Amino acid sequence: MLPNYFPDAGTAPEYNTVDATLWFFEAARQYFADTGDLGFLRDLFPVLEGIAERHRSGTRHRIHVDPADGLLYAGEPGIQLTWMDARVGDRVITPRIGKPVEINALWHNALVTLAEFATALGTDAAEWNSQAAQVRASFQRFWNAADQCCFDVIDGPGGNDPAVRPNQIFAVSLPQSPLTPTQQAAVVEVCARRLLTSFGLRSLAHGESGYGGRYEGGPAERDAVYHQGTVWGWLAGPFALAWLRVHGDPAQALEFLGPMAQHVRSACVGTLSEIFDGDPPFTPRGCFAQAWSVAEVLRAWTQISRAHHSQSHA
């Protein structure tokens, strides 16, 4: 696992995250795609294989692969492991114990990445291809046919969670999607209709139980709505990329990022805010210069602009 917190006092780092390590696979994939650096890949590949093996056999906080379906399970009471990590005292606001949708989209993407890396290094990719195929088939368990979108978590203590949250967008925006094209289009449509704002996606759809549209009050009040309706700027990037994948229209995809270009001149000049109210007028809140808001919007803008350039010169 990768730590997600280094204490200032020099004590041991904390490892209460399931997604950071899986995002590392995607960072490595992007780096190799841009550089073709085989020396880097030879050094890193054994490490990535070891990470995947430990996730299969089990690591901290009950993070392990369920042998019945190949999906990744994570979580235990009192611990917040996904990016939705707010807690008030001992109460975890969004525990998401079970098999979270974006974690398994990342797991599928990591397995396909391992297969691609093995092929690039001239080694046998059959094992990783086989595991990826199992996860891809099992991912259909996330499909909520009644709502035409994905469950947020399956196999949790209370069963499957049908709350409409933005985590499912990663099953479309990541390079390797485990959903069918029809399902991808349905996920983008639901996110556009129920979660999309000018500055990103709501963390919970308006009308869902527990929704909070204003990030205000004391620390406890703010933390209680941090992932319960508050808009996150970094999610603007994945949504625009998912839109591009489904609709193939880079000009339209870029328009979803347009308000962020204006926001650069408003809250803190030259940068992007962390979060915004879920209700209009989507007042910026939280950190006024947030790294992952900037990074994801820039990454999506660059990728979509390249697609736009290629399309216009085809």
Query: Which residues have CB under 8 Å from 284's CB, separation 6+?
Result: 199, 263, 266, 267, 273, 275, 276
Entry pTM: 0.95
Other C-beta atoms lying within 10 Å of the C-beta of residue 15: 18
Distance, in Å, from the CA atom of 243 to the CA atom of 235, rounded to the nearest integer, reads: 12
Region 32-57: what's the mean pLDDT? 96
3-class DSSP state of 202: strand
CB 165 within 8 A of CB 203: yes
Region 43-59: what's the mean pLDDT? 95
CATH number for 1-194 (one of 1.50.10.10, 3.20.20.70, 3.20.20.80, 3.40.50.300): it is 1.50.10.10
Count CA atoms closer than 13 A to 55's CA, side-chain side.
27
Other C-beta atoms lying within 10 Å of the C-beta of residue 215: 25
Q: Is the pLDDT of residue 313 over 80?
A: no
pLDDT of the residue at 200: 96
pLDDT of the residue at 116: 97
Q: Is the pLDDT of residue 314 over 70?
A: no
Could you report the per-residue pLDDT of 219-253, keeping only the tens digit for each?
Answer: 999 999 999 999 999 999 999 999 999 999 999 99
Distance, in Å, from the CA atom of 69 to the CA atom of 137, rounded to the nearest integer, reads: 9
Q: Report how far Cα 265 is from the mean position of its chain's Cα atoms.
A: 27
b/e burial code for range 101-131 (CB count within 10 A of at least 16 → b): bbbbbbbbbbbbbbbbbbeeeeeebeebbeb
Q: Is the pLDDT of residue 64 over 90?
A: yes
Distance, in Å, from the CA atom of 206 to the CA atom of 164, rounded to the nearest integer, reads: 9
Under DSSP, the state recorded for 8 is T
CB 218 within 8 A of CB 88: no
Q: Where are the domains of the chain?
A: 1-194, 197-314
Could you report the per-residue pLDDT of 161-215, keeping only the tens digit for each?
Answer: 999 999 999 999 999 999 999 999 999 999 999 999 999 999 999 999 999 999 9
Q: What percent of the chain has pLDDT over 90?
A: 84
